[in-house]
Amino acid sequence: MNAQSGFAGPPKVKERLVVIGNGMAGCRAVEEILERDPGRYAVTIFGAEPRVNYNRIMLSPVLAGEKTFDEIVINGQDWYDDNGITLVGGDPVAGIDRKTRTIVSASGRVEPYDKLLIATGSDPFIIPIPGNDLPGVVTFRDLDDVDKMLAAAETGGDAVVIGGGLLGLEAAHGLSLRGMKVTVVHLMPTLMERQLDEAAGWLLRQELESRGQTILTGANTGVIHAVEGRVAGIELEDGTRVKADIVVMAAGIKPSTTLARQAGLDCERGIMVDDHMVTSDPDILAVGECVQHRGLCYGLVAPLWDMCRALADHLTDAPSGYEGSVTSTKLKVSGIDLFSAGDFSGGDECEDIVMRDAARGVYKRLVLKDDRIIGAVLYGDTADGNWYFDLLRKEEDVSDIREGLIFGQAFASGGALADPNAAVAALSDDAEICGCNGVSKGKVVQCITKGAHSLDAVRSTCKASASCGSCTGLVESLLSLTLGGEVETGPSTMCKCTSFTHDDVRRLIVEKGLREIPEVMQELHWTTPDGCSSCRPALNYYLLCAWPGQYVDDQKSRFVNERMHANIQKDGTYSVVPRMWGGLTNPRELRAIADVVEKYDAPMVKVTGGQRLDIFGIKKEDLPAVWADLNAAGMVSGHAYGKALRTVKTCVGSEWCRFGTQDSTGLGVKIEHMTWGSWMPHKFKIAVSGCPRNCAEATIKDFGIVCVDSGYELHIGGNGGIKVRATDFLCKVETEAQAMEHCAAFIQLYREDAHYLERTAPWLERKGLDWIKAQLFDDPETIGRLAARFRFSQQFSQDDPWAQRAAGDRKDLHSHLAQVRPLSMENA
């Protein structure tokens, strides 16, 4: 009978939708389909785990003991039952037959489909190292992994987490809260380097270390060791060993594409899908971490929801399309506020807006391009993260609120800021300006009216802005308001990234105990995220000088010539200058140089003004091999490229010359062994002349020694460059030992006081000869103290693999002199 006679027609046959994956993406896609057309599909879901759908991103709170499994369940069994969904749990799909449109599970169950949805997620990346399959090595992807970690934590002990990304840090946090001693080993120099810049990564590291975790960055795991068949620890490639009762592999994820590849679907990094989440087979769709869309794979949750909406629209005949996602990140570690979104790599066409509050541990950075936010990194205060993210996603023009943007939505939403000086003028006299030193507005104004007409004068008088520098803008506003156009400009700041001078930075590094470049930038409120080409090399040098043996030289903060251990030439090749101690050489060294010239087809070799041989035309890719060949002959870098000791020029002195008064060559070799490899504010040259005829040109060198009958005359501050400057006489000493001690002391005074890229000549003129003499001679013990500090720092001068010390080293000068000066051993 038909409908008009009161009888219903045959029931509508539902299409069979089979979902491979009972995780967040697969079940969310089903939810979206049910919302649009609940009666269209008969749904069967296969899951590898014997559980209902749960929130995988909340595994971290479960590990930390902040939540239970029941609290992270998304869809309980009642959801499957109420919607007529067949759940096949604990029976993963083993294969797809596209011809018969069926799947087969690990247990042998065959299930036909009309539409197939692959939502297999991602697989953990297992580092291919010995021991990666030992008992006690786990990943962090599902509840079974959490159970293994919880079991290990019951007895305490040591845990190593390999990977300092989101998952790794969340695993480390949970294990730490469970009572384990945790070490995080991360290959890159910055934690969460995909989400954080160097500054935010440093703050995160400091916080985690304050909680008792050990963080090893720039560390590559070489092997996992075992005792009695179970994991016992790891060994890094540099030989460092770390004890471990459990090792968590959290070094990354990769799209799970095995089933799709076996079925012949198009795959690259992930399963390739179009804007409707359809694979290369029109009856098979894919969604989530396993897919690749427009060349991108996503490992965060937000894009998955966008994908599921587009997929559901397509399967219910209302196609919309997925165009990709802009992602944001938050770390799920209690007490740490961290937010990251978009592209923060920056570049020439981008502008950085940075705010730092060292006292509160806050760092905010916005990256703008064409008056639009393209990236944001927030640490310590993430309240405005969603607002910034919304502006980023919508590509809103922020030019009208540019001045107040970094201060957040409440401050900037009213439109462009008024004159910032007006806000300062409205403050009461007892309003605090400088929190570090407890200085009020009234006190600053009083200081200014009594004659402190520059920022530097205010700092030295009432201490406002003299510590962390965060109130510098307020003090400058008060200067402007109080003096109008009469503000005096003090010494130029270090660079555009800071309001501090070189002297300020050097002083505060020591006073505050700052030991890393990101720490300096945070504490001193740098206005850029990572500094610039002017301040980074300077900070690197100042830290090396302040903390010898403790600070690790940051190679990326060095100029290219220093990184390459060679001088780049205008044709793109390099020149290499091996060291010749005091200008001396021997047959072995000359043969080594000749062999390098022939082997690497160097077009020119030139004798330099510093009594060395310069090999020109070396290709960049050949530099390591060139230095290896020279090292094999006992030759080391001449630092002709470096802000360091360049040469010690000598004449033949009393050994050969009839006018010579002292052994200038022997003394020059000793001084070069004492001083080489020491980083300086600028290039540094020494000369030792054997008599007043001055053949070694000692009186136009940074430190010159002129030998006379009664001893040694010491000269300082010479320069033979564009602006020639003759030296100033420092003093006269009687012995070689005294000459060397005074040389070391002068160098150390220069190293500790001069600005980076300031030669001794302008430094001497800026400070004055009387000041330098006072520093060296007013206290009879100063020379010894400065020389001792110099010798101490020389113990840690870097042994770069391209420029190793000679076999004898400076600790065994005699052995090397035996090679280069066989006739002068009695002088060594």
- Please indicate, yes or no, whether residues 136 and 184 belong to a single structural domain of this protein: yes
Q: Is the backbone of residue 617 left (phi > 0), alpha (psi -120 to 50) or beta?
A: left
701 and 764 inside one domain = yes
| Nearest of 277, 258, 289, 267 to residue 115 by alpha carbon | 277
What's the rounded Cα separation, in Å, for the pair 324 and 303?
7
Percentage of the chain modeled with pLDDT above 70: 91
Alpha helices in 768-810 (DSSP H): 769-777, 782-794
Q: What does the pLDDT look like over 140-192, one tens digit per residue?
A: 999 999 999 999 999 999 999 999 998 999 999 999 999 999 999 999 999 99
- Reported as a pLDDT band with limits 50, 70 and 90, residue 474 is confident
The dihedrals phi and psi of 178, each to the nearest 5 degrees, come to -80, 5
Note whether 594 and 734 are same-domain residues.
Answer: no
Interacting residues of 35 by C-beta distance below 8 A, sequence separation 6+: 312
Residue 430: count of CB within 10 angstroms of its CB? 9
Residues 672 and 763 in one domain: yes
In a domain, 637, yes or no: no
Task: Give the three-class secondary structure for 393.
Answer: helix
DSSP alpha helix (H) spans, 211-266:
258-262
Residue 814 lies in a domain: no
Mean residue pLDDT of the chain comes to: 89
- 247 and 141 in one domain? yes
Do 693 and 792 lie in one domain? The reply is yes
Q: Check pLDDT > 60 for residue 420.
A: no
In order, the DSSP letters of 706-736 are EEETTEEEEEE--B-SSS-BPPEEEEEESSH
Q: Which residue spans within 422-517 are E strands per DSSP?
A: 432-434, 439-440
Do both 615 and 679 map to the same domain?
no
Do residues 242 and 288 both lie within one domain? no
Side chain identity at residue 60, one-letter code? S
DSSP string computed for 535-587? HHHHHHHHHHHHSTTTSPP-GGGS-HHHHHTSEE-TTS-EEE-B--GGG---H
**Domain harbouring 395, CATH code:** 3.30.390.30
Q: Do 786 and 674 belong to one domain?
A: yes
Give the per-residue pLDDT at 188.
94
pLDDT at 414: 54
Model pLDDT for residues 757-781, shown as the tens digit of each residue = 999 999 999 999 999 999 999 999 9
What global pTM score does this model have? 0.75
The answer to whether residues 681 and 758 touch, using CB atoms and an 8 Å cutoff, is yes
Tell me which residue of 236, 102, 217 sits closest to 169, measured CA to CA.
Answer: 217
- Say how far apart CA 793 and CA 240 lie, in whole Å: 24
- Of residues 804 and 652, which shows the higher confidence score? 652
Please choose, from the candidates 802, 404, 809, 421, the residue with its C-alpha nearest in 3D space to the C-alpha of residue 621.
802
Least confident of 95-104, 562-571, 614-623, 755-764: 562-571
Residues across the chain: 828
Q: In this predicted model, which residue has the larger pLDDT, 434 or 316?
A: 316
Instruction: Provide the b/e sequence for 802-825 (b: ≥16 CB within 10 Å).
Output: bbbbbebebeebeebbebbbeebe
Which has the minimum average pLDDT: 77-91, 257-271, 422-436?
Answer: 422-436
In b/e form, how buried is each residue of 727-745, taking b as 16+ CB within 10 angstroms?
bbebeebeebebbbbbbbb
Please check the confidence at residue 415 and state whether its pLDDT lies above 50.
no
On whether residue 155 sits in a domain, the answer given is yes
Distance CA 488, CA 454 (A): 5
User: CA 113 to CA 44: how far, in whole Å?
Assistant: 9
* Type of residue found at 86: T
C-alpha distances out from residue 277 to 302, 324, 709, Å: 16, 11, 91
Q: What is the mean pLDDT of residues 485-506?
A: 82
CATH number of the CATH domain containing 568: 3.90.480.10
In the block, tokens 């001690």 appear at 741
Q: How confident is the model at residue 703 (pLDDT cuts 50, 70, 90)?
A: very high
Amino acid (1-letter code) at residue 749:
L
Distance CA 788, CA 780 (A): 14
- For residue range 615-653, list pLDDT tens digits in order: 999 999 999 999 999 999 989 989 998 999 999 999 999
Q: Same domain for 289 and 372?
A: no
Residues 34 and 99 in one domain: yes
Q: Where is the domain boundary, 235, 251, 267?
A: 251
For residue 711, is pLDDT > 50? yes
Assigned domain for 761 exists: yes
Strand (E) or helix (H) holding 329: strand 328-330
The Cα–Cα gap between 105 and 94 comes to 5
Dihedrals phi, psi of 230, to nearest 5 degrees: -130, 155
297 is in an annotated binding site: no
**Structural domain boundaries, residue 204:** 126-251
Q: Give the CATH number for residue 173.
A: 3.50.50.60
Number of structural domains, the chain?
5
Pairing of β 613-618 and β 645-650: unpaired
The angle at the Cα of 300, spanning 294 to 305, to the nearest 5 degrees, equals 75
From CA 143, how far away is CA 300, in angstroms rounded? 18
532 annotated to a ligand binding site: no
Whether the CB-CB separation of 683 and 701 falls below 8 Å is answered with no
What mean pLDDT is predicted for residues 107-129?
96
Q: What is the pLDDT of residue 453?
A: 86
Beta strands in 48-167 (DSSP E): 53-54, 73-75, 86-89, 93-97, 102-105, 110-112, 115-118, 122-124, 137-139, 158-162
Tell me if 759 sits within 8 A of 719, measured CB to CB.
yes
DSSP state of 273: E
* 289 inside domain: yes
**Integer Cα distance of 579 and 615 in angstroms:** 12
Question: What is the distance between the alpha carbons of residues 814 and 2, in angstroms, rounded to a whole number?
Answer: 113
Coil vs helix vs strand at 292? strand
Average pLDDT value for residue range 670-697? 94
Q: What is the model's pLDDT at position 795?
A: 87
pLDDT of residue 436: 62
Of 6-10, 269-273, 783-787, the least confident: 6-10
Quick one: how far is CA 88 from the chain centroid?
46
Residue-wise burial string across 514-539, b where 16 or more C-beta atoms lie within 10 A, e elsewhere: bebbbbbbbbbbbbbbbbeeebbbbb
Query: Rounded to an integer, what distance in angstroms lies between the CA atom of residue 810 and that of residue 823?
Result: 20
In a domain, 577, yes or no: yes
The answer to the question of residue 60 being in a domain is yes
| Rounded CA Rg of the chain | 34
DSSP 143-184: HHHHHHHHHHHTT--EEEEE--SHHHHHHHHHHHHTT-EEEE
Domain boundary pick from 580, 605, 632: 632
d(CA 692, CA 659): 9
Q: Is residue 416 over pLDDT 50? A: no
Q: Are strands 574-576 and 613-618 parallel, antiparallel or unpaired?
A: antiparallel
Q: Position of tokens 């596209």? A: 98
Could you give the C-alpha distances from 471 to 294, 412, 466, 523, 820, in angstroms and in order? 47, 20, 9, 12, 59
The predicted structure's pLDDT at residue 320: 93
Are residues 613 and 672 in contact, defined by beta-carbon separation less than 8 angstroms?
no
Q: What is the helix (H) or strand (E) element at residue 338, kind and residue range? A: strand 338-342
The CATH number for 712's domain is 3.30.413.10
Rounded CA-CA distance 389/400 in Å is: 18
The C-alpha atoms of residue 650 and residue 686 are separated, in whole angstroms, by 9
Same domain? For 93 and 112 the reply is yes
Give CA 556 to chain center in angstroms.
9
Report whether pLDDT(419) > 80: no
Q: Is 468 annotated as a binding residue?
A: no
Can you name the residues that pair with 686 across neighbouring β-strands?
Answer: 648, 703
Q: Locate tokens 């806000």: which residue?
A: 423
Alpha carbon of 604 to those of 574, 593, 599, 601: distances in Å? 11, 12, 13, 9
Which pLDDT belongs to residue 10?
Answer: 64
Element (H, E) at 744: helix 736-753
Dmax (CA) for the chain in angstroms is 135
Domain for residue 762, yes or no? Answer: yes
Measuring CA to CA, which residue among 483, 487, 543, 481 is closest to residue 517?
Answer: 543
Q: Distance (Å, rounded) from C-alpha 751 to C-alpha 730?
A: 17
Average pLDDT over residues 551-577: 90
pLDDT of 433? 82
- Position 482 scores a pLDDT of 87
**Last residue of some domain: 251, 278, 306?**
251
- Percent of the chain whose predicted confidence (pLDDT) is above 90: 69
Phi and psi torsions of 686, nearest 5°: -125, 150
